[in-house]
């Protein structure tokens, strides 16, 4: 029986990944470690309450003793590190916590995984792996042409992407220095259920159903490469099982869209399915994000050729499924956007 240590498994992608794993594999155990920051929510894991294969532990990945204890308590085979501060706008407001969680937290996990898995000098227990969930943002921004490849130099611009790039360098350093068994995945923008409504798609959905303005940064022509979250989970699973040790794999599905296209798509969905009174008059162009990366676009050739991964969900289907899910989970949105989120929203958007 394999044991996965999944960090950040109460967040958006982490919770989707835990569901994915437990559905796909019967004979596994998932130790899910999450600090439960504003972005982590136990409601995301409600469907697993009666599944004894899922063990939830509230802890900070930076906590030396808590992480040491987990490796003593469980025979971990795989670490899948999702835990992070993940929102670019928050990193612009407050960079320090991004260094703590994303860099120091990753190094703490690497240190304890290495200690637990070592059986000789730079020799490790068979079959173990540390998978770092990274992002395409570490590559910086593209012009109108070209794609991010695994060989593209790292050129992060925001405090968030700088912290993720730093973490990647530490993961790579453990591989190079100690021959530690790692993989890094770098995925493009995810969308799907359980995404915190500070991010573009759930934020615009929630604003539209509440007849609030849809804030579009700058000219709305920045481009993101959107991938349905389950396809990301499948990519990570493929890399855990078949990825060559020490390698980086980009994950993305050639699905580039401008932000304004995404916003109009959401408004059109709400108009058709929920409330005929909404419309594009709700779009408001606001001051651009500082250092706003213009375009992201992933070249997924390596993961497709080596591991047979490809994106299975077409954007047209995935976005409908996603918006339907949000429309059926308004209580979930209301719950996680109450309290402190309102302060953040005011700070970010009022008078912008």
Residues labelled catalytic: 136-137, 160
Please report, for the chain, how many H helices and E strands are present, in that order. 13, 15
Contact 43, 335 (CB under 8 A): yes
The whole-angstrom separation of Cα 7 and Cα 108 is: 12
> What six digits make up the tokens of 175?
């591989």
Does the footprint of ligand DAU cover residue 250 (CB under 6 A)?
A: no
Binding partner selected for residue 45 from ligand DAU, ligand NAD, none, CB under the kind-specific 5 to 8 Å limit? none
Could you tell me whether strands 2-7 and 28-34 are parallel, antiparallel, or unpaired per DSSP bridges?
Answer: parallel
CB 46 within 8 A of CB 72: no
What is the Cα–Cα distance from 179 to 246, expressed in whole angstroms? 8
39 binds ligand NAD (CB under 6 A): yes
The option from ligand NAD, ligand DAU, none interacting with 271 (CB < 5 to 8 A, set by class) reads none
| Residue 200 in the binding site for ligand DAU (CB under 6 A) | yes
The one of ligand NAD, ligand DAU, none whose footprint includes residue 224, by CB under 5 to 8 A per kind, is: ligand DAU
In 3D space, the residue among 134, 162, 142 whose CA is nearest the CA of residue 225 turns out to be 142
Q: How many residues bind ligand NAD (CB under 6 A)?
A: 30
Rounded alpha-carbon distances, angstroms, from residue 117 to 57, 178, 264, 277: 21, 12, 50, 59
**Cβ at position 188, least distance to ligand DAU in Å:** 5
Binding mask 76-115 for ligand NAD (x = CB under 6 A): ------xxxxx--------------x---x----------
Shortest distance (Å) from residue 14 CB to ligand DAU: 12
d(CA 174, CA 171): 5
Query: What are the residues binding ligand DAU (CB under 6 A)?
Result: 86-88, 135-137, 188-189, 199-200, 203, 215-217, 222, 224, 259, 289, 296
Query: What are the residues binding ligand NAD (CB under 6 A)?
Result: 7-8, 10-14, 34-37, 39-40, 60-62, 82-86, 101, 105, 133, 135, 164, 187, 189-190, 196
């Amino acid at each position: 029986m394999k044991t996965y240590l999944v960090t950040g498994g109460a967040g958006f992608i982490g919770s989707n990944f835990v569901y994915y794993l437990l559905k796909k594999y019967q004979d596994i155990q998932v130790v899910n470690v999450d600090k439960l920051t504003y972005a982590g929510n136990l409601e995301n894991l409600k469907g697993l309450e009666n599944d004894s294969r899922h063990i939830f532990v509230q802890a900070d990945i930076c906590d030396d003793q808590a992480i040491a204890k987990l490796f003593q308590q469980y025979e971990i085979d795989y670490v899948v590190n999702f835990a992070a501060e993940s929102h670019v706008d928050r990193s612009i407001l407050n960079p320090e916590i991004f260094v703590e969680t994303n860099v120091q937290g990753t190094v703490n996990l690497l240190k304890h995984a290495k200690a637990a898995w070592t059986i000789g000098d730079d020799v490790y227990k068979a079959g173990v792996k540390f998978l770092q969930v990274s992002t395409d943002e570490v590559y910086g921004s593209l012009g109108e042409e070209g794609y991010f490849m695994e060989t593209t130099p790292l050129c992060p611009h925001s405090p968030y992407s700088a912290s993720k790039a730093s973490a990647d360098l530490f993961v790579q350093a453990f591989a190079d220095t100690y021959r530690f068994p790692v993989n890094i995945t770098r995925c493009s923008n995810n969308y799907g259920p359980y995404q915190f409504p500070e991010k573009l798609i759930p934020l615009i959905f929630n604003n539209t159903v509440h007849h609030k303005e849809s804030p579009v940064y700058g000219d709305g022509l920045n481009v993101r490469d959107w991938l349905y979250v389950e396809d990301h989970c499948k990519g990570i699973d493929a890399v855990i099982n078949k990825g060559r040790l020490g390698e980086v794999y980009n994950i993305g599905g050639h699905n580039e869209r401008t932000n304004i296209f995404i916003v109009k798509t959401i408004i059109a969905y709400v108009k058709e399915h929920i409330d005929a009174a909404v419309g594009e008059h709700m779009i408001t162009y606001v001051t651009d994000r500082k250092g706003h990366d213009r375009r992201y676009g992933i070249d997924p050739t390596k993961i497709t050729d080596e591991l047979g991964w490809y994106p299975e969900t077409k954007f047209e289907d995935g976005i409908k499924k996603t918006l339907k899910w949000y429309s059926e989970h308004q209580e979930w949105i209301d719950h996680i956007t109450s309290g402190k989120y309102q302060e953040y929203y005011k700070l970010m958007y009022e008078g912008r």
